[in-house]
Structure formats: C-alpha cells, structure tokens
RNA sequence: GUGGGUGUAGCUCAGUUGGUUAGAGCGUCAGACUGUGGAUCUGAAUGUCGCCGGUUCGAGUCCGGUCACCCACCCCA
C-alpha cells in the first residue's frame, strides 16, 4: 500500500514520444549529413563543467541562467548553457592537436534555468557548427550556405536568414566616440520596434548620455530598410567613411554576391541591420534564421563571428565563425505548423502473424529484408488479420506482408500497400526486389 | 526573475447562483466478423475534477498556497 510517486517532469523539461522523437532524430540526421558535407568534424564535450569555465562570457544574464551546484567532491560545477563556451575551452585545451583552420560540429543538450515559453525550454538540443582559426570572409559566407542547405535538407522552404555585421555599428560608435557604450546602445536599439524612434533616443540619452544628433545617426542605421542592394548602397553612402564600418559593409557585399553566385536564391538572405544579438562575444557577422510562417517563435538558427573566442583560456588568438541550430525550438515550430509526419514506427514493413506455427518463416523473411536494410516488425500475437492490419496502419507502416497456409503452399507472399489498400501475390524469392522498389 | 491567463477521462470540452453515486464527443479495448483494416451496431474500461490546505452542514464550483502550461517583459535556440 505504498503511496505512488506522481510521474512528472520538471518545468521546461520534456519527454519525447515516438511520434516526436522519430522526426527529431530525422532532424539530427540531416544536420549531421549537411555539416559533414562541408567538412565539419564531430566533437563532444561533457555536459558538466567547472563553473569558472562557463562564467563570464556572455554577461550576467547567462550567468543567472546557469544550473549550478556543488558536486560530491565539493567542486563548484554547472551544466553547460550553450555549446560555444565549452568549445572555446575545448579548442584552447586541444589546439595543439587540432591545427587551424578547424571546423567542427557538435550536437547535444544544453540547459538554461530561465522562464519557459513556447519554443523555449530549460533543456534543449543545439546543433552547432563553427570554423575557427581564420578570419576569412569565406568562412562567414559558408555559414549562410550551411544554414540554407540545412533547411533545404529538412524540407523547409519558407525561411529567411537575416544577416548583419557588427563592424558597421561598432565603427559608427567609434566615430561617435561611444565605443565604450556598445552594450547600452545594442540594448536600446533592440527596443526600436517596441518603443519607437523617440523612445530609443530617450533611453540612449538616459543610459549613455548620447546627444540627439548621435542618436539620430544610430537610428538611421538601425532603421534602414529595403532590398539588399538598396541597403548596401545607402550603407556605403552614409557610413562608408569609417574604416571599420566600411570593412563590415564590404564583407556584407561580398557575402550577398557570393551566396547568390553559389546558387542560393536571393530571397533566402536578408540584410537586417536591426539584429544585434545579445551575446557580447560577437564582433562581426551575425545571423538569425526565421520561419516565414512562425516568426514569433524566434530564431531557429543563429550565430555569428567572434574575434577571439578562447581568450579566457589561452593567449593564442582564435577567431571563428559559426551558428547553432535550435533543434527543439525548430521541432516545436514544425509541430505547430503541421510539418511533421505522424509516424509511430521507424520500420516500414509489417509482417502479419497469421498463425503462430509459421513464426519461424515470418522471422526468416523479416531477417532477409532487414539484412537488405529494410526495417521490419513481426506482430507478436496471432490475432485476427483485420486487427493486425488496423494496428499496422495506425502505427504508420507502409507495407504489410501476409502469408498463411495457402500462400506457403503456393510459395508466395501477399504484399499489401496499407495506404492504397492494394495487395498482390509475389513469389517468395521476389519479395525483397519488389519491396525495394516500393520503399 | 516580474506581471497576466489557464488547469475537469488518452484528446477536445460541458458542468446552471457551491447541494445527492461528475458528463458528452472523439479515441482505446472486446464482440458481431475462426484469412484481411478506414462503415455500422452492441458492450466495456478510464477521472484522487493539477496538487495541498482553508471557508462551509456540504466545493469541480469560493479563498490561499503550490506545481505545470500559455502570453507579455527580459533574454535567447
């Protein structure tokens, strides 16, 4: 009569049932395939790190979100809240064996103790890819290509990659003698859509003693709208005077033209001077990817360039650029947009157990097909055929194989297309070939 | 972390001004159908009304707390 423990999960932590886990694994497979196709190599790092490793990179906000505790040995430890900082530690620790440039991808769970919302969890997977050891714009450009190919591989066409370059803002701030106020300016500009020009202006003057004239120039930058070509032209006119800004503009120009030349549709990339990204370590290109049909869920793939990722851990300069796919946010978005197939089985072929006495024959056929790479499930009970077929369809099997005394006497199997409800008798030796053609 | 909203069977919801054994549809399971599944019919199971406590003769219905989810702020994937 012991009291039952209530089965439950923590806030922001979720279970994944097969209907969700099957597409989730599919996303992982596609991400892995695309990353590898560009030459990114896999790495992994521990979920738990010394707290000092994780602290002090992205400001107080991310510090507050750390799951932090003292382990059994009295060590101050924390769960990683992204894959970038652990990578910085990793790179600093192993640079000698890695060599540069080094391209890696890393997929795994991260933890953030912040408030939950739609598409915002406390445990979620990121799929990062980064190139370190080079400042070449080619690497910045490649990030866009990877993101594009990734979403294409996932069968998502309605998305836009928003691109900006912090050099432009930094250059302008430098020119306005506000280089020390970068963070305040970013935060203020970020509020533009909500509080408007005058509001931002007011915040700037209050938080950073910015004059109206200075604010005007910053706002002119942040509010810039138009096609990529128009924006680039106006940027050159208005801000090209500063060396840093000019460099940023040049990099964006090159990015836009190269991506286009590489065959990526123009409308997939949008220059957006309003995206700044809160993370302090970005210094050049920044990227955010939005789904056309669900922009409110936030960016599903973001990243940028950082001058010196590993400076906390090594004196060696380690510039890099990369981005992170928010696997679980994307999955939540796809679920909401009905982009997920509801399949509850990873195997396409179902073998009806017509009669228990033939179990050996059923399993032999199943093994033959499995050896050819086809997933096959044999039903465990010799229930009525109708029930088994109903089960098979509900689970999402594509093909059912049926054989009883009559079939075995004739040396054939019935192959049934569960969706079309058509069946045909096929000689036992041809089953593999016929199935291969159908799947 | 702050503010607002929601919380009744697996799912979508109904439950009159607090009043006897808490309902529907869908779904699930069994049977009609001992070699063939989306139809029909018959029957069945399932809820500590999120959880804890309070007010009351009596609470799903009121109050407080708590947990979870949703929305906004903040930040971000």
Q: What is the pLDDT of residues A255-286, one digit of tens each?
A: 999 999 999 999 999 999 888 766 677 889 99
| More confident call, A197 vs A57 | A197
The structure's pTM equals 0.90
Structure tokens at A370: 């499995």
Assess whether A63 (CB) lies less than 7 A from strand B: no
Which residues lie closer than 8 Å to A398 by C-beta, 6 or more apart?
A348, A349, A417, A418, A419, A438, A439
- Per-residue pLDDT reduced to its tens digit, A360-418: 999 999 999 999 999 999 988 888 888 888 888 888 889 999 999 989 999 999 999 98
Q: What is the 3-state secondary structure (H, E, C) of A53-102?
A: HHCCCCCHHHHHCCCEEECCCCCEEEECCCCHHHHHHHHHHHHHHHCCCE
Q: Quote the CA–CA distance of A235 and A221 in Å, as a whole number.
A: 8
Q: Are residues A132 and A159 in the same domain?
A: yes
Q: If you average pLDDT over every residue of chain A, what do you get?
A: 89
- If one counts the domains in chain A, the total is 2
Assess whether A58 (CB) lies less than 7 A from strand B: yes
A112 in any annotated domain: yes
Q: Are residues A264 and A375 in the same domain?
A: no
> For A13 and B48, how far is CA from C1' in angstroms?
25
Q: Are residues A208 and A89 in the same domain?
A: yes
Average pLDDT over residues A139-155: 97
Nearest nucleotide (C1') to alpha carbon of A193: B73
Q: Are residues A307 and A364 in the same domain?
A: no
A97 in any annotated domain: yes
A149 in any annotated domain: yes
> For A66 and B1, how far is CA from C1' in angstroms?
13
A7 in any annotated domain: no
Q: Are residues A216 and A112 in the same domain?
A: yes
Q: Are residues A261 and A358 in the same domain?
A: no
Assess whether A107 (CB) lies less than 7 A from strand B: no
The residue out of A336, A360, A394 marking a domain boundary is: A336
Q: Are residues A265 and A404 in the same domain?
A: no
- Per-residue pLDDT reduced to its tens digit, A295-309: 888 999 999 999 888
Q: Are residues A377 and A228 in the same domain?
A: no
A342 in any annotated domain: no
| More confident call, A281 vs A130 | A130
Domain of A407: which CATH number?
3.40.50.800
Domain that holds residue A197: 18-336
Does pLDDT of A1 surpass 70? no
Nearest nucleotide (C1') to alpha carbon of A389: B37
Token look-up 């509850």 returns A344
Structure tokens at A135: 């400042």
Q: Quote the CA–CA distance of A79 and A69 in Å, as a whole number.
A: 9
The residue out of A302, A336, A370 marking a domain boundary is: A336
Does pLDDT of A59 surpass 60? no
The residue out of A272, A304, A336 marking a domain boundary is: A336
Assess whether A329 (CB) lies less than 7 A from strand B: yes
A360 in any annotated domain: yes
Q: Are residues A380 and A317 in the same domain?
A: no
Average pLDDT over residues A435-439: 88
A227 in any annotated domain: yes
Domain of A295: which CATH number?
3.30.930.10
Q: Are residues A207 and A82 in the same domain?
A: yes
Q: Are residues A117 and A154 in the same domain?
A: yes
A3 in any annotated domain: no
Helix axes A228-239, A166-175, angle to 10 degrees: 20
Instruction: Please list, residue by residue across A131-169, b when 16 or more beta carbons sit within 10 angstroms of its beta carbon and e when fewer do.
Output: bbbbeebebbbbbbbbbbbbbebbebeebbbbbbbbbbb
Which of A32-46, A74-88, A170-184, A299-313 is the least confident region?
A: A170-184
> For A386 and B29, how far is CA from C1' in angstroms?
15
Q: Are residues A251 and A399 in the same domain?
A: no
Predicted pLDDT at A192: 78
Nearest nucleotide (C1') to alpha carbon of A323: B77
């Amino acid at each position: 009569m012991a009291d039952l423990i209530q089965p439950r999960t923590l806030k922001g932590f979720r279970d994944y049932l097969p209907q969700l886990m099957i597409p989730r694994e599919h996303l992982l497979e596609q991400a892995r395939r695309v990353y590898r196709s560009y030459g990114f190599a896999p790495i992994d790092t521990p979920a738990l790190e010394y707290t000092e490793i994780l602290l002090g990179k992205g400001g107080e906000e991310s510090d507050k979100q750390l799951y932090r505790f003292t382990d059994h040995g009295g060590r101050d430890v924390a769960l990683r809240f992204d894959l970038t900082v652990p990578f910085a530690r990793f790179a600093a620790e192993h640079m000698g064996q890695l060599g540069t440039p080094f391209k890696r991808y890393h997929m795994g769970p991260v933890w953030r103790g912040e408030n939950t919302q739609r598409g915002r969890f406390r445990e979620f997977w990121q799929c990062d890819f980064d190139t370190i050891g080079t400042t070449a714009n080619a690497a910045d450009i490649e990030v866009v290509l990877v993101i594009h190919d990734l979403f294409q591989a996932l069968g998502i066409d309605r998305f836009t990659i928003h691109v900006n370059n912090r050099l432009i803002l930094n250059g302008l701030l430098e020119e306005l003698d506000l280089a020390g106020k970068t963070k305040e300016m970013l935060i203020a500009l970020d509020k533009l859509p909500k509080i408007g020009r005058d509001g931002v202006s007011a915040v700037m003057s209050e938080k950073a003693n910015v004059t109206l004239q200075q604010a005007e120039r910053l706002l002119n930058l942040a509010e810039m709208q138009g096609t990529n070509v128009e924006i680039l032209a106006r940027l050159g006119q208005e801000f090209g005077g500063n060396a840093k800004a000019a460099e940023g503009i040049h990099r964006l120009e090159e990015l836009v033209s190269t991506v286009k030349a590489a065959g990526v549709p123009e409308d997939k990339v949008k220059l957006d001077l309003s995206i700044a990204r809160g993370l302090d370590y970005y210094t050049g290109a920044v990227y955010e990817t939005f789904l056309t049909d669900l922009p409110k869920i936030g960016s599903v793939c973001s990243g940028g360039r950082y001058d010196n990722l590993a400076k906390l851990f090594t004196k060696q300069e380690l510039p890099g650029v990369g981005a992170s796919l928010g696997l679980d946010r994307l999955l939540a978005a796809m679920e909401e947009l009905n982009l997920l197939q509801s399949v509850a089985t990873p195997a396409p072929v179902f073998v009806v157990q017509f009669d228990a006495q033939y179990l050996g024959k059923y399993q032999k056929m199943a093994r033959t097909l499995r050896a050819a790479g086809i997933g096959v499930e044999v039903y465990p009970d010799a229930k009525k055929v109708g029930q088994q077929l109903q089960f098979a369809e509900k689970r999402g099997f594509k093909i059912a194989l049926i054989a009883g005394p009559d079939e075995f006497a004739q040396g054939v199997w019935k192959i049934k297309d569960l969706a079309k409800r058509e069946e045909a008798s096929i000689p036992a030796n041809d089953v593999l070939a016929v199935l291969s053609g159908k799947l």
